[in-house]
Homo-oligomer: A and B are copies of this chain.
């Protein structure tokens, strides 16, 4: 068996470092072809010395110079900036591109890898939320396989293998419900930032932790699932499952539900993406079914989580709506993390922006063609940017 060649985009982030941990555990199975990061050049410097990639990309020319000065020759090709990142992602030398960059840069580089027919381990949420339709069409055209690296979509992927798509009744996305699943609606006005940042099951960055608290995260995942698995939004159902052990399920027409379960550990879905169709015997604690005790399942209290309903509405609208929603949410969450607005304002602001979006769409303003039709990745990024800016203006105006 020859080693699988990996390009790791965002190698210093949590997806990237977990990926490299797995590579370190299975040196015969993987070879790191390329690495990229934005600013953490000390860390990527160590990674370069350890994994000896052929190419590297960093966020700026300044960072590239810093690296060049420290790496003995023969040193890897060192690229920088957006152009460099797209060049790195496009390299057909990689068998699998781990798309671990968040935000817009992640979308562009993921798309470049797909254009070049590379298989993708997808951890960049924006890719599917902003441009799912374009991405899936391009992947179909180039033969690129997209393996979802987040636990819910990876669980769905695993629950679909070997079964027929035409037999799907429903996809069930489990949701921990975040820190406020048990908080009564009346108490939502008293929610503090510290409480919102305290997720019960997963340790994640602050943006995604707030998205969990508002359940926008589950809404964005519904949009992702809609495209990843080519299934109508009406057949995707979120369910509260507080333990995050059943990572998601597929219901089939005969009454069978197939579920993927495990400890909440992001290494499992990442390892799945890296090794498919094989599996890696990962080190670390294993789940014991007999020690699970109770698993809980309950309906989503939609009245407490308007962000989730807003996302489902945007998913149904398709077109630019999910991108606008995403931009508005990012602006609102940033303002919340800055202490400028209250927890309950997040949904209120997004709701306002979505109303403005609907109005603007009806005007068919030539200045904003992307609001009516997403034809390119740049259209999707423009729609996201539009949502973000309108939300920011609305926030500044307050």
Contact with B along A230-250 (1 / 0, CB 8 A): 000000010111000010010
Stretch among A186-194, A251-259, A332-340 lining the B interface = A251-259
Contacts of A164 in B (CB 8 A): 277-279
| Bound-complex Cα distance A267 to B239 (A) | 26
Contacts of A260 in B (CB 8 A): 256-259
Q: Is A367 in the interface zone, CB < 8 Å from B?
A: no
Q: Is A205 in the interface zone, CB < 8 Å from B?
A: no
Chain A, interface size category, equals 35 or more
Contact check: which of B167, B172, B286 meets A255 at CB < 8 Å?
A: B286
Contacts of A295 in B (CB 8 A): 294-297
Q: Is A281 in the interface zone, CB < 8 Å from B?
A: yes
Stretch among A72-80, A99-107, A214-222, A268-276 lining the B interface = A268-276
Q: Is A261 in the interface zone, CB < 8 Å from B?
A: yes
Q: Is A397 in the interface zone, CB < 8 Å from B?
A: no
Which residue from chain B places its CB closest to the CB of A162 in the assembled complex? B162
Q: Say yes or no: B162 contacts A249, CB within 8 Å.
A: no
Which residue from chain B places its CB closest to the CB of A247 in the assembled complex? B256
| Bound-complex Cα distance A209 to B164 (A) | 35
Contacts of A265 in B (CB 8 A): 255
| Bound-complex Cα distance A296 to B272 (A) | 27
Interface centre among A169, A259, A292, A299 (most CB of B within 10 A): A259
Q: Say yes or no: B287 contacts A298, CB within 8 Å.
A: no
| Bound-complex Cα distance A343 to B308 (A) | 54
Q: Say yes or no: A296 contacts B297, CB within 8 Å.
A: no
Contacts of A287 in B (CB 8 A): 251, 255, 257
Contact with B along A150-166 (1 / 0, CB 8 A): 00000000110111100
Q: Is A280 in the interface zone, CB < 8 Å from B?
A: yes
Q: Say yes or no: A254 contacts B279, CB within 8 Å.
A: yes
Min Cβ gap A365→B in Å is 41
Q: Say yes or no: B286 contacts A297, CB within 8 Å.
A: no
Q: Is A290 in the interface zone, CB < 8 Å from B?
A: yes
Q: Say yes or no: B294 contacts A299, CB within 8 Å.
A: no
Q: Is A81 in the interface zone, CB < 8 Å from B?
A: no
Q: Is A3 in the interface zone, CB < 8 Å from B?
A: no
Q: Is A263 in the interface zone, CB < 8 Å from B?
A: yes
Q: Is A262 in the interface zone, CB < 8 Å from B?
A: yes
Contacts of A255 in B (CB 8 A): 262-263, 265, 267-268, 282, 284, 286-287
Considering the complex of A and B, which 8 residue pairs feature the smallest CB-CB distances, nearest first?
A: A162-B162, A161-B162, A167-B279, A290-B299, A253-B281, A257-B261, A292-B297, A254-B279
**A and B contact pairs by CB, cutoff 8 A, 30 listed:** A158-B256, A161-B161, A161-B162, A163-B279, A164-B278, A172-B289, A239-B289, A241-B289, A246-B259, A249-B261, A249-B289, A251-B286, A251-B289, A253-B281, A254-B271, A254-B272, A254-B280, A255-B282, A256-B260, A256-B262, A257-B287, A258-B258, A258-B261, A290-B298, A292-B297, A293-B298, A294-B294, A294-B295, A294-B297, A295-B295
Chain A interface (Cβ < 8 Å from any Cβ of B) = 158-159, 161-164, 167, 169, 172, 237, 239-241, 246, 249, 251-263, 265, 267-268, 271-272, 275, 277-282, 284, 286-287, 289-300
